[in-house]
Structure 1
C-alpha cells in the first residue's frame, strides 16, 4: 500500500478546514491502495517522510513566511532526508490573511533543495475560505494520492 503523509500546522479554523478537505481528497474511495497519514508539523519526523510515497504540506502564512512549525519540520528532516527522498512527489496548501507569496516561495525553495517534485500547483487561500478553496484542496489531496495510487 502507498502512503501519503500530510504534514501540517493547523492553528486556525481556516487551516483546519483546508486540512480536512485535503485529507478527504487524498483518501477518496476512487483511488486504490493509498493510506493517508496525518502528522502535525511539530511531531513529524524523518522516519515519517521515509515511510511516505508522497507528501502534502499545509501551513498558514505568518508574517510573510511559512509557520515556524513547518520550518521546524524542514529543519529536522532536511539532512536526514536529503539523499533518500529525491523525486518525492509533494503538494502544498497555504492560508494567509493578505499575502502568502513568501510562504509559498519558502516552501518551494526548501522542497526544491530536497529534490522533491511538485505534482500540482500550490493551493493558496487568502482571507475567508470559500467553497472553491475547499474544492481546490480536495483536488490537491486527490491529485497527490493519484500519483502513487496502485
Structure 2
C-alpha cells in the first residue's frame, strides 16, 4: 500500500459562516470514496513552513478584508514564502474566498504570491460573493472533494 497523500487546508475562519465553509471543504476532502488522502486543517497563524513542505496539495481559505486577503493568511504567506520557495514548486493548490464585495483584490493577491512560489492552481478560485448563501457550503464541499479526489487518483 502506498503512503497516504497529504492535503493541507489553511483557512482563516473568523465567523460562524466561514467556519462552516471550512468544515464543508474538510467534509468533501474526507469523503468516504477518498481512499489514500489524509486531510489536515490549520489556521493560518498556526501553519508553518514544514506543514506546507509536507503537503502534496493545499487549499487556502480567506475572507476578503478591505479588498485584500485576511491579515492572517498574509502572515502565513510572509512566514512560509522563503522557506518554501525552493521546496514546493508546482504544489497543487486551490482557494476559496468569502467576499462581501467583489473579491478581485483578494484573488489577485493570492495569485501574485502563489505565482511567486510557483504553485500550480488546480481549479479557479471559488469566490463566495455577496450576501451569505447556503449554496456556498455545497460549493466548498465540492472543492474539498475535487482536490482530494485529484490527489487520490494521482492527477496532481
- Shorter-chain TM-score: what band? over 0.9
Q: How does 1:50-129 map to 2 (within 5 A)?
A: 50-129=53-132
User: Cα deviation per residue 1:67-96 (whole Å; 9 max; x = unaligned)?
Assistant: 000000000000110011011110100001
Q: 1:145: how far off?
A: 0.9
Following TM superposition, the consecutive aligned residue runs of length 4 or more in structure 1 with deviations greater than 2 angstroms are 127-132
RMSD over aligned Cα atoms: 1.1
Partners of 1:25 and 1:144 lie apart in 2 by: 9
Shift in Å, 1:114? 0.6
Greater Cα offset, 65-74 or 5-14: 5-14
Gaps of 5+ in 1: none
The residue number in structure 1 matching 2:25 is: 22
Say if 1:14 and 1:95, in contact at 8 Å, map to a contact too.
no
User: CA-to-partner distance for each residue in 1:34-81, whole Å, 9 max, x for gaps?
Assistant: 111000000100010011100000000000000000000000000110
For residues 8-54 of structure 1, what are the alpha-carbon distances to aligned partners after superposition, in whole Å with 9 as ceiling and x for unaligned? Answer: 11111221111011111111111111111000000100010011100
**Aligned partner of residue 148 in structure 1, secondary structure:** helix
1:48 to 51, 57, 62: 51
TM-score, structure 2 as length reference: 0.92
Instruction: Determine helix, strand or coil for the equivalent of 2:146.
Output: helix
Distance in 2, matches of 1:108 and 1:136, equals: 20
What is the deviation of 1:129? 2.9
